[in-house]
Amino acid sequence: MLAGCQHFTETDYGSRVVPIVSPEPSKPSRIRTGTERLLTVDQLYAWCEDGTLKMQVTATARSGGWRDVDLNRLAGESTTPVFEVSGVPPKRPASQALQSFTFRHDEPMERGTGRVKVIGQSNEMSSAIFIGRGC
C-alpha cells in the first residue's frame, strides 16, 4: 500500500503492477449538524454593488415539509466564496412534490473575489460576479 493512501487500484502495465492512486474527493464540512443539502441548485445570480456581494439563489428540495432551510457559507481558504443550500428534512411522510426555495444573501465582498459557488446534493453551480457601481 502506498504511504498515506487508503484507497488505490492496481493495474497491469507490462510485466509489473502499477498502483493508481484514487484518493477520496474532498468535501467541505457542513456548518449545521442535523441538516441535509437540498437536491438541486437551479439558479444563481451574483453581483457586487457598493462593495457588497449580493446573491439570489433558487434551489429545490426532493419533497415537501423541509424546515430551517438556509444558505450557509462554508469555511474555505479560496478567494471563491462557497455556500451550501441545506435544511432539516421532514421526519414524517411528506408530499412527494418538489419544494422550491429562493434565497437572497448580502455580505461584504473581499478584494480579489471574482466567482461564487453554491453546492446542492446533486449539483453545484458557479457564477462570475457582475461588478456594479462602487466595487
Distance of CA 71 to the CA centre of its chain: 10
Q: Structurally, how many domains does the chain consist of? A: 1
The residues, any chain, with a CB within 8 Å of residue 80's CB and separated by 6 or more, are 113, 114, 115, 116, 117, 126
Residue 8 has pLDDT above 70, yes or no: no
Domain limits for position 69? 36-131
Domain assignment present for residue 45? The answer is yes
Domain assignment present for residue 19? The answer is no
pLDDT at 77: 67
Q: pLDDT tens-digit profile of 54-92?
A: 999 999 999 999 999 999 998 876 778 899 999 999 988
pLDDT at 133: 77
- Report the mean per-residue pLDDT for the chain: 81
Specify the pTM.
Answer: 0.72
> CB of 61 within 8 A of CB of 41?
no
Domain assignment present for residue 41? The answer is yes
Rounded Cα–Cα distance for residues 55 and 84 (Å): 13
Domain assignment present for residue 48? The answer is yes
Residue 115 has pLDDT above 50, yes or no: yes
Domain assignment present for residue 69? The answer is yes
Type of residue at 10 = E
**Which string of DSSP letters, residue by residue, matches 43-107?**
EEEEEEETTEEEEEEEEEESSS--EEEEEEEEP-SSSS-EEEEEEEPPSS----S-EEEEEEEEE
Domain assignment present for residue 23? The answer is no
Residue 111 has pLDDT above 90, yes or no: no
Domain assignment present for residue 22? The answer is no
Domain assignment present for residue 3? The answer is no
